[in-house]
Amino acid sequence: MTSLFTRHFSKFSFQTILVISSILTLSSCDQSKSQSQSSETKISKPVKLFEVRQAGTTQTYFFPAKIEAYRKVNLSFEVDGKIEKLNLPEGQAFKKGERLASLKQDTFERRLQQSKLNLQEANLELKRIQAVDKQGYASKQNVSRAETNRDLAQVDYDVSKDNLNDSHLYAPFDGKVAKRLLEENTYVSRGTPIAEILDTSKVYFAFDVSERLINKIRSEEIISAKATLKNAEQTQFKVNYAENEAKTHPITQTYRIYFSMPYPKETQINLGSHASIAITLSSSSGQQYRVPLSAIVTDEQNQPFVWVYQPDTQNAQRRQVTLGEIDQNQISVTSGLNSGDQIIAAGASKIRANQKLKPFNGGL
């Protein structure tokens, strides 16, 4: 009897111990898991925040530019002849109306003198015929022929006079000699370039812009434009839109655009040197915010959103946004944010809902 009771008690006790042990083990695991989750919740992840501010109604863009002459012209004579004198040292500045080159004058002067004598003779002959005609001894045909000869002599004189004038070349504008192509005592035909000259009445600043900006510039959204020279004084000048090329560059797909200004009297400008152009454009996009590109995350449907930090609960709230244009490392947000919002600016893709966060003020 005692042994039977002992066997039953021992069996009951062993089963009971197993059950109790299992319960204690599960309880211990749940408590450990709960403590782990609680520990994870209590540890705050440091995050870099960006405070959202409304973008201004203007935006300034900077471009490297090359300084060019307003225009380049090939200087040439309109008559044939032998170059007698050149006043075209390369790099030399000249004023409008200044004589730059001359052909040998003897031929042109003789031709003018001959045409002048022919004209005088034709006038005398016409007067003689007209006097005879008044007496009734000259035919109308003789009078008409004399008038024609006089007119032809007048034309020949005018051409000879023009040719003498055209044997000299005068500066058509204020400028500089870019390159001398021929030397003195060289025979040239009309239209043959003898030099390349640059019009410096204006200064051009040439640079490349995207299609988006070229449309804004051409639609008169420019508020201001300034050029800064790469000299020791970093001299600045106000510049204006002049023109742009109609076709894009085949590789960069950008437009070459030109801004200009009158050539300054007080500052030496070296054509071919470089400058910096700052163009301030008005914004026609209404209310918008500019945020770091690193703050934008996409969900499973490829929809953009940001994490907005909540100071009260020390976690982040997911918020859908509508995106605008990208500018370098920032992007405009046209809806979904409010001024003063603090968003996760770095590591946004690793943030989870209800995760404890703390602002990090150092550099990440």
* 49 in Cβ contact with 69 (< 8 Å): no
Q: Return the CA Rg of the chain.
A: 45
Q: Which residues pair with 317 in a beta bridge?
A: 308
* 227 in Cβ contact with 236 (< 8 Å): yes
Q: Name all domains of the chain by residue range, CATH numbers in brackets.
A: 45-55+287-359 (2.40.420.20), 61-67+201-282 (2.40.30.170), 105-166 (1.10.287)
User: Does residue 54 sit in helix, strand or coil?
Assistant: strand
Strand (E) or helix (H) holding 243? strand 240-244
Strand (E) or helix (H) holding 347? none
How are beta strands 81-86 and 187-188 bridged, if at all? antiparallel
Q: Which residues pair with 64 in a beta bridge?
A: 276
Residue 274 CA to residue 267 CA, distance in Å, equals 15
Per-residue pLDDT of the chain (364 residues; tens, 9 = 90+): 444 434 443 444 434 433 343 443 434 444 444 444 444 445 778 999 999 887 666 778 899 999 999 999 999 999 999 999 999 999 999 999 999 999 999 999 999 999 999 999 999 999 988 888 888 777 888 888 999 999 999 999 999 999 999 999 999 999 999 999 999 999 999 999 999 999 988 999 999 998 888 887 876 678 889 999 988 888 999 999 999 999 999 998 999 999 999 988 888 888 889 999 999 887 655 567 889 999 999 999 999 999 999 999 999 999 999 988 787 788 888 889 988 899 999 989 899 988 999 888 654 4
Alpha helices in 95-251 (DSSP H): 106-134, 140-166, 211-218
Nearest Cα to 288, choosing from 56, 33, 28?
A: 56
pTM here is 0.56
